[in-house]
């Protein structure tokens, strides 16, 4: 019984972390149809920025968090203005460019901070809460809370504001949105800044509980793409739901079997969803 509760709590933590990373990727994929392979590296940059501004320069966790969001959002804007915008005519171009950005960011982090570095970000919430006989660090609970706040805020932003309406319009049908007088360029720019900023926020939130390394974004991106497929392309709610389902599924299988089995089962789950309901959990089936 305690094992079950433990596993449930672990699932909640994994879901929150996964949803934070995935939602930004889903956003940019939905709006711009760009598979941003560098998204995991934006998450990595967020963690490094949180360390640099918060710990190394002594600004504290909050400053580090804000800096992480700003730095990654700026990288996002840079990618949109100088790279994606110039590659509109070549559908596969952005994908290659994101891989280029991925390599550059990884190498830069390794070069600036070393591969063997011990960078530690202190959480403002030290200590652990005791739930059902197990210790849950306050920071983990904070991550779950922050994920709920951030994702809730994002939903409100997309559902109630004019920007949100325009963004969803672009995601659904670019040509129709353009006819409505929506500036695709401005929306793309904001979406990219938002997406990258979310990745940076996720990096800063996770920084105190993971190991910061130049390659920390790598394992995340694959899971993120699987989750997006499960959720349905273009659906943020679907991505969040899928993040929760996939993380819980994965956590339970690795706890009761082992994690190789969990990886294989996760991939098979994705294939099954693709075959049975190719549009994902909440994606709309689109016509030709």
Site for other proteins in 17-46 (CB under 8 A): 17, 29, 33-35, 37
- Give the binding range for other proteins (CB under 8 A) out of 54-62, 157-165, 179-187, 217-225: 217-225
Judged by CB under 8 A, does residue 58 bind other proteins? no
CB of 102 vs other proteins, minimal distance in Å: 7
Cα 137 to Cα 97: distance, rounded to the nearest angstrom: 39
CA 120 to chain CA centroid, nearest Å:
21
Render the burial of 55-69: b for 16+ CB within 10 Å, e for the rest.
beeebebeebbbbbb
Which one among 51, 213, 238, 242 touches other proteins, defined by CB under 8 A?
213
In the stretch 230-269, what mask flags binding to other proteins with x, by CB under 8 A?
Answer: ---x----------------xxx-xxx-xxx-xxx--xx-
CA 38 to chain CA centroid, nearest Å:
11
Cα 252 to Cα 200: distance, rounded to the nearest angstrom: 28
Judged by CB under 8 A, does residue 184 bind other proteins? no
Cα 233 to Cα 26: distance, rounded to the nearest angstrom: 7
Judged by CB under 8 A, does residue 101 bind other proteins? yes
The count of chain residues that interact with other proteins, using the rule CB under 8 A, is: 86
- Give the binding range for other proteins (CB under 8 A) out of 65-73, 136-144, 160-168, 235-243: 136-144
Cα 63 to Cα 53: distance, rounded to the nearest angstrom: 7
Kindly state the tokens that stand for 125.
Answer: 């919430």
**Complex with other proteins: residue 117 or 155, whichever CB lies closer:** 117
Which one among 128, 184, 189, 281 touches other proteins, defined by CB under 8 A?
128
Nearest Cα neighbor of 205 from 141, 113, 115 is 141
Cβ pair 185, 191 in contact under 8 A: no
CB of 160 vs other proteins, minimal distance in Å: 28
Which one among 58, 116, 162, 181 touches other proteins, defined by CB under 8 A?
116
Judged by CB under 8 A, does residue 161 bind other proteins? no
Judged by CB under 8 A, does residue 210 bind other proteins? yes
DSSP lists the bridge partners of residue 130 as: 135
Cβ pair 44, 109 in contact under 8 A: yes
**Complex with other proteins: residue 186 or 274, whichever CB lies closer:** 274
């Amino acid at each position: 019984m305690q094992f079950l509760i433990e596993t449930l709590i672990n699932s909640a933590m994994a879901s929150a972390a996964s949803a934070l990373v995935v939602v930004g990727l889903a956003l940019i994929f939905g709006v711009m149809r760009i598979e941003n392979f560098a998204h995991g590296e934006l998450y990595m940059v967020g963690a490094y920025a949180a360390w640099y501004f918060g710990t190394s320069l002594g600004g504290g966790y909050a400053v580090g968090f804000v800096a992480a969001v700003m730095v990654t959002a700026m990288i996002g804007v840079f990618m949109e203005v100088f790279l994606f915008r110039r590659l509109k005519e070549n559908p596969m171009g952005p994908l290659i460019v994101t891989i280029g950005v991925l390599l550059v960011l990884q190498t830069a982090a390794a070069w600036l901070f070393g591969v063997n570095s011990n960078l530690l970000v202190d959480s403002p919430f030290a200590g652990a809460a005791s739930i059902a006989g197990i210790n849950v660090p306050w920071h983990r609970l904070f991550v779950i809370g922050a994920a709920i706040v951030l994702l809730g805020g994002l939903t409100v932003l997309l559902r109630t504001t004019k920007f949100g309406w325009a963004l969803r319009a672009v995601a659904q049908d670019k040509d129709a949105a353009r006819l409505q007088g929506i500036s695709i360029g401005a929306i793309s720019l904001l979406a990219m800044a938002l997406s990258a900023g979310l990745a940076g926020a996720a990096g800063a939130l996770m920084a105190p509980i993971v190991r910061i390394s130049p390659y920390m974004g790598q394992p995340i991106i694959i899971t993120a793409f699987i989750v997006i497929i499960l959720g349905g392309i273009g659906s943020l709610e679907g991505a969040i739901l899928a993040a929760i389902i996939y993380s819980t599924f994965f956590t339970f299988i690795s706890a009761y079997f082992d994690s190789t089995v969990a990886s294989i089962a996760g991939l098979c789950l994705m294939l099954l969803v693709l075959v049975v309901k190719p549009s994902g959990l909440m994606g709309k089936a689109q016509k030709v």
